[in-house]
Amino acid sequence: MVPDRPGQFVRKRFEAMVFTALAEELRTGDVVVVGSERYADWSKQLLAWEVVQDKLGAYLVEAGLA
């Protein structure tokens, strides 16, 4: 709220709040963008399970979980 104008929002703060909330909803999958499947598929960036298995032991030791 703007102190000298009750009931008025500070536009930059409001926009920051809206886009922060939207980014979180997009990240969790609670909001989707129609047609977004035409763009990059994030799952293609994942490692193959065989690669993960090869690296898992060293990672667990390094992370202190082994």
Structure tokens at 15: 């926009």
Q: How confident is the model at residue 2 (pLDDT cuts 50, 70, 90)?
A: low
Q: How confident is the model at residue 47 (pLDDT cuts 50, 70, 90)?
A: very high
Residue 51 has pLDDT above 70, yes or no: yes
- pLDDT tens figures, 5-41: 777 888 999 999 999 999 999 999 899 889 888 887 8
CA-CA distance, 58 to 4, in Å (whole number)?
A: 60
* pTM for this entry: 0.47
